[in-house]
Amino acid sequence: MPVKQGFQLPSGDIFPSVGFGTWTVWSAEKGVIHKAVKEAITVGYRHIDCAYVYQNQDEVGQAIKDKIEDGTVKREDLFIVTKVWNTAHRRGAVKEQLQKSLKQLELTYVDLYLVHYPISFKEGDDIFPKDDDGNLIFEHYDIVDTWKGMEDCVDSDLARNIGISNFNHLQIGRIIDAARIQPCVIQLEVNPTIANTKLVDFCKQKNIVVTAYAPLGNPNRSWKESKDPTILADPVLNEIALSKGKSVAQVVLRFLLQRDLVVIPKSANADRIKENFQLFNFELNEAEMKKIWSLDKNFRVYTKPIAVDHPEYPFHIEY
Ligand SMILES: NC(=O)c1ccc[n+]([C@@H]2O[C@H](COP(=O)([O-])OP(=O)(O)OC[C@H]3O[C@@H](n4cnc5c(N)ncnc54)[C@H](OP(=O)(O)O)[C@@H]3O)[C@@H](O)[C@H]2O)c1
C-alpha cells in the first residue's frame, strides 16, 4: 500500500508526512535539540514540529539558521510548525505569542500555527500559572475568539496555515461552524495503543489532515508506570519488524503513514533520527496492518491531566 510523502493543504502548500518532534523535558541539556534538529535537516526532514511551551525554540531556530547558512536548505524548503500555548488565548494575545515564537525561531513566518489545547490558563509569562495552593489558574476564553486570533495571524502573513491540537469533535465542530479560515490540520495522540479511530475519521471527513503525535508512545517518558503497555517491546510488532528486517519504530511509523496520517517522531540520537525517516522503502500488508490495529487499547500516554477540571478539557467524552 503506497503512502503519501506529503499532503496538499488548501493554501497549496505541501505538508510533509514525516516531521521531526522537538519536545524534550524542560531540564534537557542545552544544545541537545540544536544538534538533533541540525541532524534531522541533514538526513532529509523538512517538517519541524515546535511549540512555544517547549521553551527551546531558540535552539531550533539556531539549528534552522545553521542549515540555511551551510546551504543544505532554503527557508522555503522547510515546513515549520509552532503552537500557541494556553496562556495566550485572548484574541490579541494569540498573535503576540506568535511574534515571540518567530523571534525565538528567527523566522518571519511559520508554515503552520496550531492552538495547542482548547484549555486557557491565566495570561502571562508563567506557562503554568499556579495559586498559593499549587492549583493551576484557569481563565475562560471562547475557543472561537482564540480562533479569530489565529485567523488574524494568517491575515498578517505570520502564519501560512492554521490548525488545532487536542480538540474533541464537538470543539472542532464549533471552530468549523464559526471559522472564516477553516482549520486544515489537527495534532492528536495516535499510535498502536491509541488508534483514536472515531476522531481521526471525523477529522478526515472535515478535510483536516491528522498529525499523529507521540507516534512511538514516548517510551522514555518520566511518568511511565510499570503497568503501561510498551509499544517498542510489543511481541506482535517485534515479530513483524523481524520478518521485514526493519526496526519496531519503523514498522509503527509506517503503520501510521498507511493510515494516511502525518508522523512527528522525536529523537536526540543520530542513528534513530535517520532510522525514523527511512519509511518509504517497505510496505505492510493487510494482515500485518490488521495485527497492529488489534493492539488498540485506547491507552493515552499524555494522560497526566493537564487541566482535567477545566470546562474545555477535551478528553472527557468518547472522541
Ligand atoms: N500537540 C501536542 O499536544 C503534543 C503532545 C506531545 C508531543 N507532541 C509532538 O510530538 C512529538 C513526538 O512525540 P513525543 O516526543 O512525545 O514521543 P515519541 O516521538 O513517540 O517518542 C520519543 C521517544 O522515543 C525515543 N525514540 C525515538 N526514535 C526511536 C527509535 N527509532 N527506537 C527507539 N526509541 C526511539 C526517543 O528517545 P531518543 O531521543 O533517545 O532517541 C524519545 O525518548 C514531540 O516531540 C512533539 O513535537 C505534541
Domain CATH code at residue 185: 3.20.20.100
Instruction: Please give the distance, rounded to the nearest whole angstrom, from the Cα atom of residue 193 to the centre of ligand 1.
Output: 15
Report pLDDT for 305.
60
29 falls in which pLDDT band (50, 70, 90)? confident
Total domain count, the chain:
1
Ligand 1 atom nearest to 49, measured from its CA: 47
Q: Binding-site residues for substrate, please?
A: 116
- Residue 13 CA, distance from chain mean position: 18
Residue 272 exposed, middle or buried by CB count within 10 Å (0-12, 13-18, 19+): middle
Percent over 90 (pLDDT), the chain: 93
Is the distance from the beta carbon of residue 56 to the nearest atom of ligand 1 less than 6 Å? no
Number of neighbours of residue 221 by Cβ within 10 angstroms: 14
Is the distance from the beta carbon of residue 160 to the nearest atom of ligand 1 less than 6 Å? no
Domain membership flag for residue 69? yes
Q: Is the Cα torsion angle 98, 62, 273, 31 positive or negative in sign?
A: negative
Is the distance from the beta carbon of residue 19 to the nearest atom of ligand 1 less than 6 Å? no
Domain membership flag for residue 33? yes
Domain membership flag for residue 53? yes
Retrieve residue 275's grid coordinates.
532510522
Give the Cα separation of 190 and 167 in Å (integer): 13
Query: Which residue has the least CA distance to atom 19 on ligand 1?
Result: 265
Retrieve residue 203's grid coordinates.
477529522
Domain membership flag for residue 246? no
Query: Which residue has the least CA distance to atom 48 on ligand 1?
Result: 213
Average pLDDT of the chain is 96
Give the Cα separation of 150 and 95 in Å (integer): 7
Residue 18, SS3?
Answer: strand
Sheet holding 79-84: strands in order across? 19-21, 47-49, 79-84, 112-115, 162-165, 185-189, 209-213, 262-263
Give the Cα separation of 45 and 274 in Å (integer): 9
Candidate of 210, 213, 299 to mutate for ligand 1, largest count of ligand atoms within 8 Å of Cβ: 213
Euclidean distance between the first and the last CA atom of the chain, given in angstroms as a whole number: 28
Domain membership flag for residue 46? yes
Give the Cα separation of 302 and 223 in Å (integer): 9
Q: Binding-site residues, please?
A: 116
Span 172-210, pLDDT tens digits: 999 999 999 999 999 999 999 999 999 999 999 999 999
Q: What mean pLDDT do residues 257-264 have?
A: 98
Is the distance from the beta carbon of residue 35 to the nearest atom of ligand 1 less than 6 Å? no
Say yes or no to pLDDT of 79 above 80: yes
Domain membership flag for residue 71? yes
Give the Cα separation of 150 and 115 in Å (integer): 8
Say yes or no to pLDDT of 171 above 70: yes
Domain membership flag for residue 248? no
Domain membership flag for residue 252? no
Question: Residue 84 is part of which domain span?
Answer: 17-222+259-278+297-316
Span 216-258, pLDDT tens digits: 999 999 899 999 999 999 999 999 999 999 999 999 999 999 9
Span 97-124, pLDDT tens digits: 999 999 999 999 999 999 999 999 999 9
113 in active site? no
- Residue 97 CA, distance from chain mean position: 18
Is the distance from the beta carbon of residue 244 to the nearest atom of ligand 1 less than 6 Å? no
Number of neighbours of residue 64 by Cβ within 10 angstroms: 24
Span 121-164, pLDDT tens digits: 999 999 999 999 999 999 999 999 999 999 999 999 999 999 99
